[in-house]
Amino acid sequence: MRRSIMPNRSRLVALALGLGLSAGLHAPAPAQPRQVPETRQQITLSFAPVVQKTAPSVVNVYGARVERRPQNPFMDDPFFRRFFGDGGFGLPREQVQRSLGSGVIVDAAGLVVTNNHVIQNMTEVKVALADKREYEAEIVLRDPRTDLAVLRVKGARDLAAIELGDSDALQIGDLVLAIGNPFGVGQTVTQGIVSALARTQVGVGDAQSFIQTDAAINPGNSGGALVDMQGRLTGINTAIFSRSGGSHGIGFAIPSAMVRVVVESAKSGAVLVRRPWFGARLQALTQEVADGLGLDRPAGSVVASVVEKGPAAEGGLKRSDVILAIDGVAVDDPEGFGYRFATRPLGGTTQLTVLRGGKRITIPVKLTPAPETRPREPVKVGGRSPFTGLTVMNLSPAVAEELSIDPSTEGVVVAMIEENSAAARVGFQKGDLVLAINGERINASRDIELATRERKRAWEVTISRNGQTVTSVFGG
C-alpha cells in the first residue's frame, strides 16, 4: 500500500512546486527516471543492516512495587485468622504492581536511558537484553521534567551502546525505525518517517519539543529507540496519540539533544539534571499582538516578567520583549524556547534575537544554573490533617526551576505527594504554594509542621495554583 502511494505523492509535490515558480520559488530538480530493478542486490534492499547495528542496544525494562493492603480489623481475632488466613477473607495482604517498557543502552559500562513513567514509583527494576539475559538495575537519575530516567545495569559490562545522533539535523520526511517491546510480545521493529518536528503541545514533560513519527509505537514501546538510517539514536519514544490505546500513526519521541543532557548528568554522578537558568517568564505570541508588532505570523515568545538579578535581566532582557530565536534558531512558542535553552551546556553565553520597539536586537544571556538562595528544608507532614503525606520545601530559583513554576514566586511549595494519602485525597498538587493555614501566614516549611501538630475540627487552607489563589475548608 505504501509503495503505491509514494509515487502519487511525489507527483503532487512536483506539481505544487511547479505552480509556485511565479512566487519566486526555486525550480525543482528534474524527476529521477523510474527504473525496474536489474540486480538481486537492488531487489533485496533492506533495513536489516540498521536493525543489526541498533537492536542489541535496545532492552526491555520491567518494574515492580509491592503494595500492602490495609489490615482487616477482623484479623485481630484468632478465630477469623483460623478460617480466612492472614490475608483476610482469602485476599493476599500484599499486591505487586508492575510496569513494562523499553530502554536504550547509551554507555558500554551499563547505563540505560528509559522513560521516567516506566519506572515511576517502582522499587525493583530489571533489564532484559536483546539476547534474553536479565539483570537487576538501579535507578541512577530521574528527570520528570523530560520524562527521562537513567538506569545502571548491575553486573554487566561491555554492553552494546548505541551512538547518539543529532536530532537537530533531522528533517521532515527522513526515514526512521522505532525499536521496542510493544505489549510485551518481544523486541519489535517498525518503520516510518519523521512526520513533524518541534511538537510542543503533547502534554508529556515540561521541556517539550517532540519528534513526531508515523512508525508504529504502542504500549511497551515507551523508552525505546527511534533511530536514523545510520543507526544513530535520534529520540526516545515516549507517547502516542490514540483513542483506542493502539497506534494510529501519531507517535512522539524525545529528541536526542535532550537525551544527551540527561545522560551526561548521570555520567557526572549528579542525582538531578542541572540546566541553565533563564530567569524570566514567557507567554505565547497571539495573532493580535503579532499584527500590532508588524509580524507576518504569531511566532515567538513575549516576555511577561523578568526576575531581578537573573541571567535574563543581567543580559538586558525587558518585559514585553519578543524572543524570536536562540543562537539563530527560530523558536515559535515558550515551550520551544524552553527546550532550546535547556539543551544549552552550562557555561558561556547564548545569543537571543529579540524584537523591541520594532527593531531586532541581540541579547547575550549567561548559561548558569539556578541558585539556591535559601535552604530547602524539606518537611514531610505526618499526623492527622489534610496535609498528611505532603512533602513541602522552601522556594528558591533552583526549586522553582526543578518544579517548572514561576521563578519569581516565593514561599513554601508542595514538592511531593504520597500516594493514597490524605493530602492526595483532598486534591493537593505538586507545585501548589501554601500561603496560609487557618488564617496564619506560611513563610517557611517548618511553619506547616508546627501548624499541623494539633488536631482540629476544620482546616482553612489558602493555596496558589497556576497564579490563582484559592481558599478551601476541610474537615478534621
Predicted confidence band of residue 326 (pLDDT cuts 50, 70, 90): very high
Residue 459 C-alpha cell reads as 482546616
370, pLDDT greater than 70: yes
Q: Which residues of 439-460 are buried (b: 16+ CB within 10 A; e: fewer)?
A: eeebebbebbbebbeeebeebe
| Whether residue 242 lies in the annotated active site | no
Q: In terms of Cα–Cα distance, which of 245, 144, 251, 133 is closest to 202?
A: 251
Length of the chain: 476
Average pLDDT taken over every residue of the chain: 81
Residue 174 C-alpha cell reads as 527522513
Catalytic residue selected from 147, 321, 406, 447: 147
Which long-range CB contacts under 8 A does 457-460 form with residues at least 24 apart? 459/385, 459/386, 460/436
Residues 6+ apart with CB under 8 A from 120: 99, 142
Determine the pLDDT at residue 4: 31
CA distances for 193 relative to 155, 173, 251, angstroms: 37, 5, 11
Q: In terms of Cα–Cα distance, which of 179, 135, 132, 181 is closest to 157?
A: 135
158, pLDDT greater than 80: yes
CA distance 328 to 362: 10
58-98 pLDDT per residue, tens: 999 988 877 665 555 544 555 445 444 554 445 455 666 77
Most confident range (mean pLDDT) of 213-217, 253-257, 296-300, 331-335 is: 253-257
Catalytic residue selected from 117, 143, 214, 321: 117
Most confident range (mean pLDDT) of 122-126, 332-336, 365-369, 370-374 is: 365-369
Find the DSSP H helices in 31-93.
40-43, 48-54, 78-84
Burial class (CB in 10 A: 0-12, 13-18, 19+), 73: exposed
9, pLDDT greater than 50: no
Please give the domain boundaries of the chain with CATH numbers for all domains. Answer: 57-153 (2.40.10.10), 163-267 (2.40.10.10), 280-366 (2.30.42.10), 379-475 (2.30.42.10)
DSSP 329: E
386-398 pLDDT per residue, tens: 888 889 999 888 8
Could you tell me if 247 and 240 are in contact, meaning their C-beta atoms sit under 8 angstroms apart? yes
CA distance 309 to 268: 29
Could you tell me if 394 and 416 are in contact, meaning their C-beta atoms sit under 8 angstroms apart? no
State the virtual CA torsion across 288, 289, 290, 292 in degrees, nearest 10.
90
Residues 6+ apart with CB under 8 A from 411: 394, 395, 433, 434, 435, 442, 443, 464
Predicted confidence band of residue 470 (pLDDT cuts 50, 70, 90): confident
414, pLDDT greater than 70: yes
DSSP 156: -
350, pLDDT greater than 90: yes
205-216 pLDDT per residue, tens: 555 688 999 888
What percentage of the chain's residues is helix, strand, coil (to nearest 5)?
25, 35, 45
Q: Which residues of 112-140 are buried (b: 16+ CB within 10 A; e: fewer)?
A: bbbbbbbbeebeebbbbbbeeeebebebb
Q: Residue 264: enclosing H or E segment and its boundaries? A: helix 256-267
Predicted confidence band of residue 12 (pLDDT cuts 50, 70, 90): very low
CA distance 449 to 453: 7
CA distance 242 to 252: 12
Catalytic residue selected from 102, 195, 209, 222: 222
Determine the pLDDT at residue 28: 44
Residue 122 C-alpha cell reads as 517502582
Q: Tell me the pairing of strands 322-326 and 349-356.
A: antiparallel
7, pLDDT greater than 90: no
Determine the longest span between alpha carbons in the chain, in angstroms.
92
Residue 470 C-alpha cell reads as 484559592
| Whether residue 117 lies in the annotated active site | yes
| Whether residue 10 lies in the annotated active site | no
Predicted confidence band of residue 355 (pLDDT cuts 50, 70, 90): very high
